[in-house]
């Protein structure tokens, strides 16, 4: 898994930070998470192919997380898109989107498959050959959701030299990759571990923005490989964070610590902070493996866990 930060600012863009948007690359399958103003410009700057985005996840309906989607949907159509687009958003967004398209006389040449987000418990919203995605209820001023992307366990890999050595037929490849031993023509049992290598451990990524601190969240993202958690304010602004339905650096670090996360990325920084170094240092005091969300930067999630 690789994560590109397209926007890390809260509420409004700054000269260095765009509003919220992440692009998750899971085995060359691209998932756009939130779509703040300027997202398609950032996609171009990061050389991300628009056509590879088939799933868009919207956490909630505040402008800094969704104002960029209208231009992006129109651009998809102008570029000749025919592939259906899966859109996951709070349930009331379906009618809002239809109204917008009608009001601005936008006629898309592709189908939008809308998946409504609702309820107060985690719900699996995507399950395919490679991964699952679960929506998580957050606590913000309006209905808001986070997302966990979990890779499925990959198959074992057959050692190339063993194929000719033991004359393994193509018909047996699938069962061996699934962990079965191989029996030669002479009836000799070859242990699976002697002819295969284990796959890497599956990675997981949780996206949590916007939300105030609440104890249940850490249990919902338990043992996640990498957690992204908003840190709109520093610890001195705890009252303001609670009032506005946001989190501080310490809140984010506490969630990561209690969840047993492998690493933490903080973002959604208030525009009041020109330099975010102090914010990262605050979080690191509680959870050392904390990294800042930097616009335009791509993080290899597996590499973050090796430090």
> Per-residue pLDDT tens for 148-192?
999 999 889 999 999 988 889 999 999 999 899 999 988 999 999
Residue where one domain finishes, among candidates 175, 196, 217: 196
| Residue 116 and residue 237 share a domain | yes
| Residue 227 and residue 95 share a domain | yes
| Residue 164 and residue 50 share a domain | no
| Residue 210 and residue 242 share a domain | yes
| Residue 288 and residue 184 share a domain | no
| Residue 179 and residue 91 share a domain | no
- pLDDT confidence of 254, banded at 50, 70, 90? very high
| Residue 130 and residue 175 share a domain | no
pLDDT tens-digit map of 203-220: 999 999 999 999 999 999
Q: Which residues contact 98 (CB under 8 A, 6 or more apart)?
A: none
CATH of the domain at 233: 3.60.15.10
Residue where one domain finishes, among candidates 142, 167, 196: 196
Residue where one domain finishes, among candidates 142, 166, 196: 196
Range of the domain at 189: 157-196
| Residue 7 and residue 144 share a domain | yes
| Residue 116 and residue 220 share a domain | yes
| Residue 185 and residue 146 share a domain | no
Q: Based on the structure, what is the number of domains in the chain?
A: 2
| Residue 118 and residue 170 share a domain | no
| Residue 115 and residue 249 share a domain | yes
- pLDDT, mean of residues 97-115: 95
Longest dimension (CA), the chain: 74
Q: E strands, the chain, where?
A: 2-7, 21-26, 29-33, 53-57, 85-90, 112-117, 123-127, 131-137, 145-151, 157-158, 182-183, 189-190, 196-197, 204-208, 226-230, 263-267, 290-292, 298-300
Q: Supply the residues annotated as catalytic.
A: 64
Strand 145-151 to 131-137 pairing: antiparallel
């Amino acid at each position: 898994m690789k994560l590109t930060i397209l926007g890390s600012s809260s509420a409004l863009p700054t000269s260095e930070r765009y509003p919220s948007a992440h692009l998750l690359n899971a085995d060359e399958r691209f998932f756009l998470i939130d779509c703040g103003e300027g997202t398609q410009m950032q996609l171009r700057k990061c050389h991300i192919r628009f056509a590879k985005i088939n799933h868009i996840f919207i956490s909630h309906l505040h402008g800094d997380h969704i104002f960029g989607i209208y231009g992006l949907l129109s651009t998809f159509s102008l570029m000749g898109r025919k592939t259906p687009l899966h859109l996951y958003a709070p349930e009331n967004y379906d009618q809002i989107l239809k109204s917008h398209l009608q009001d601005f006389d936008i006629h898309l040449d592709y189908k939008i498959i809308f998946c409504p987000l609702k309820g107060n418990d985690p719900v699996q919203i995507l399950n395919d050959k490679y991964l699952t995605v679960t929506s998580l209820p957050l606590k913000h001023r309006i209905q808001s959701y986070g997302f966990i992307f979990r890779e499925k366990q990959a198959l074992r890999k057959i050692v190339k030299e063993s194929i000719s050595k033991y004359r393994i037929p193509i018909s047996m490849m699938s069962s061996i990759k699934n962990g079965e031993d191989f029996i030669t023509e002479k009836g000799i049992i070859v242990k699976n571990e002697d002819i295969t290598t284990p796959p890497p451990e599956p990675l997981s990524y949780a996206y949590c923005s916007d939300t105030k601190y609440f104890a249940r969240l850490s249990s919902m993202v338990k043992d996640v490989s990498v957690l992204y958690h908003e840190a709109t304010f520093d610890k001195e602004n705890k009252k303001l964070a609670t009032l506005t339905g946001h989190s501080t650096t310490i809140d984010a670090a506490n969630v990561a610590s209690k969840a047993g996360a492998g690493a933490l990325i903080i973002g959604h920084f208030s525009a009041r902070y020109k330099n975010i170094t102090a914010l990262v240092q605050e979080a690191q005091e509680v959870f050392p493996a904390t990294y800042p969300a930097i616009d335009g930067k791509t993080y290899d999630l597996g590499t973050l866990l090796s430090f």
